[in-house]
Structure 1
């Protein structure tokens, strides 16, 4: 009964997520989408890290995927809204959904970002694609996907489909970054700023040294003679 009520609520909200709608209700719609995804993420994360038996039934994998399937189409549409705040709230919601079920969200988002970066006439789609690229970087370049996914399968046991989606991350990110390079255009300051921001986020998450390099550097320092004080 609760799931039926939620589906009915989201069906009634769906027309207001259309990119052509930019009324005063967009803030409430964005708050709803963001709250549903955020609190689901928090609840799953707390339940996955809880050691004692919970006082209430936990969210199962099917529950999480059902919620993601209901929210993903609405959030995707809301990202292209002409409202000032709704696209940002939709991106925040998509960030949580991509953590909850990457196999249901990342392939579609990657395709839309690639299309937006290659479009010539739809300038609005390019801006949304560059903004989404910034949001994708932490997910696609995560170094510890097993620990980063707060899925209700017990610690360290995400499904193989989720790990497969994340394993494709570096290759997908390389393709998207190559498509984003033409965005460094002095004739379009806004697009250039978004492009440089995406590359800045990339450099923040890109490791400068891996554990193997760290071990080799430590062994070399220990093997080298100490500097003389002459």
Structure 2
């Protein structure tokens, strides 16, 4: 079928939107998209040749952006490469209007979003034009005089998508350009480290690592270890190390630095210590970014040494008491963000190791992949802080998201303690906050609960008792409890069809014990629906 479709279109598409095939006029989409694409290519090329940025280039780049939303990347690899090169040239035009440059940059990022579609062999982009553009914006000599004005985040996304396609010689050229600025006692240090974070490529294949991070890793990690006073540029250095660790899992020996890494992370959280709850006065802008911390930690886990997991367990043991519901402070938001995003990063790494199709990006070696024991140890280290954070004063949403990701990995360790808190909360009427918090967390683990599986086969048997006990929560006098109850019931009704299957117990003899219990209990679904509708109609 793919061969016939490619013959009809005249090319093999990079990645089209598969749901378009379900449209009633799907047979006409190929001809329609080919006609639109040919118009975009012809008119965009003509506008660029005539140097008509406005309205020609701007109009047809917007048409290309619309084409991506409607049809996906439904063009050949050759067209994809040409589009990227053209947009890169447009973005780096000197003295281009900022609004126009932002539009070109957004389209360029969209074209480069799927890294697996274009490898380094297909595309190579020069780094210096983009650096000169950033230098004009970040260190403008006229902006503070009011002669220019740049939006705050005008430069953020472009470098993230393009740095993977810089040439092999780019790393050495960047070091020659910015290494003279490395002076810890001068303001140029901040400039050099920020450029290293923005531009240094970290996705070179293992056979080219001598032209990549091995040229600068020892120097910069030694600089990071020697600095103790948390300067502003240290944050950019940590972001660079996090990206490097994530792109090269298993190819860098982090073991000598792991104790120092977790010590610095703990210090960056700026937690109160002692009986007087003393805080070290630090600028919040100098603290490590939680998004990069969780990426770094997730990349360090696994491997033969298990040192990172031991340090992570020690870190959570030392800060578990801070998650108690009675604690509150400006540091709590950072702790909750760490708790919520670390399991998410580990789940993403597991997906990358076990399920994602191999691409040109550096694969994770077998010796450093997660074992079943590694996953169990990770979930055990995070379980107690998450269960405490369920009733935090900042809300239960972060804890619910953390429980959702932990339950995807080990439902038998996570769901039972949540159920132990949920059943008593549904029986009491004097603690509505406990009920809303536990229901929010049950919504997070609902998919893992009803899926059952070999790890937690008894999970589906809890669904009907939970639904029946949730019915008193339909109370218009308590709006928050009523809304979370509706969400709870809607979640389970979406995941499981409410159908009476009790006759299957007599008709089939290949059911497991759990399946027989579920089929017998399904006779009560009708009673649940009637009670629910009666409450809704009567209460409202």
Q: What TM-score comes out, normalization by structure 2 length?
A: 0.33
Query: What 5-or-longer segments of structure 1 have no aligned partner?
Result: 147-159, 210-230
* 1:80-115 deviation digits (Å, cap 9, x = unpaired): 01124xx21111011000010011111111121112
Q: Does 1:81 align with 2:380?
A: no
Give, in whole Å, the separation in 1 of the partners of 2:498 and 2:468. Answer: 20
Pick aligned residue for 2:348 from 23, 38, 42: 42
| Residues 1:15 and 1:208: Cα distance change in structure 2 (over 3 Å) | closer
For residue 139 of structure 1, report the CA deviation from its aligned partner.
2.0
- The equivalences for 1:1-12 within 5 A come to 1-12=307-318
Which position in structure 1 is the counterpart of 2:418?
109
Question: Does the residue aligned with 2:325 lie in a helix, a strand or coil?
Answer: coil
- The equivalences for 1:5-44 within 5 A come to 5-44=311-350
Q: Does 1:95 align with 2:404?
A: yes
Which position in structure 2 is the counterpart of 1:58?
369
Which position in structure 2 is the counterpart of 1:192?
482
* 1:126-160 deviation digits (Å, cap 9, x = unpaired): 11122123223222223xx66xxxxxxxxxxxxx4
Tell me, yes or no, if the aligned pair for 1:79 and 1:91 is still in contact at 8 Å: yes
Larger radius of gyration: 2
Equivalent residue pairs, number: 188
For residue 50 of structure 1, report the CA deviation from its aligned partner.
5.1
Give, in whole Å, the separation in 2 of the partners of 1:191 and 1:50. Answer: 40
For residue 41 of structure 1, report the CA deviation from its aligned partner.
1.0
Q: Does 1:204 align with 2:515?
A: no
Give, in whole Å, the separation in 2 of the partners of 1:25 and 1:4. Answer: 24
Tell me, yes or no, if the aligned pair for 2:390 and 2:438 is still in contact at 8 Å: no
Question: Does the residue aligned with 2:368 lie in a helix, a strand or coil?
Answer: coil
Give, in whole Å, the separation in 2 of the partners of 1:45 and 1:110. Answer: 27
Tell me, yes or no, if the aligned pair for 1:23 and 1:83 is still in contact at 8 Å: no
Give, in whole Å, the separation in 2 of the partners of 1:117 and 1:19. Answer: 20
**Could you say which structure has the greater relative contact order, defined with CA pairs below 8 angstroms and 6 or more residues apart?**
1
For residue 208 of structure 1, report the CA deviation from its aligned partner.
7.0
Question: Does the residue aligned with 1:80 lie in a helix, a strand or coil?
Answer: coil
Give, in whole Å, the separation in 2 of the partners of 1:102 and 1:65. Answer: 10
Which position in structure 2 is the counterpart of 1:157?
none
Question: Does the residue aligned with 1:141 lie in a helix, a strand or coil?
Answer: helix
For residue 121 of structure 1, report the CA deviation from its aligned partner.
2.2
Give, in whole Å, the separation in 1 of the partners of 2:314 and 2:460. Answer: 38
Structure 1 stretches of 4+ moved >4 Å = 50-53
Moved more, 199-208 or 121-130: 199-208
Give, in whole Å, the separation in 1 of the partners of 2:472 and 2:431. Answer: 15
Q: What TM-score comes out, normalization by structure 1 length?
A: 0.75
* 1:41-60 deviation digits (Å, cap 9, x = unpaired): 11112211257673361011
Query: What 5-or-longer segments of structure 2 have no aligned partner?
Result: 1-306, 500-540
Moved more, 121-130 or 59-68: 121-130
Which position in structure 1 is the counterpart of 2:379?
68
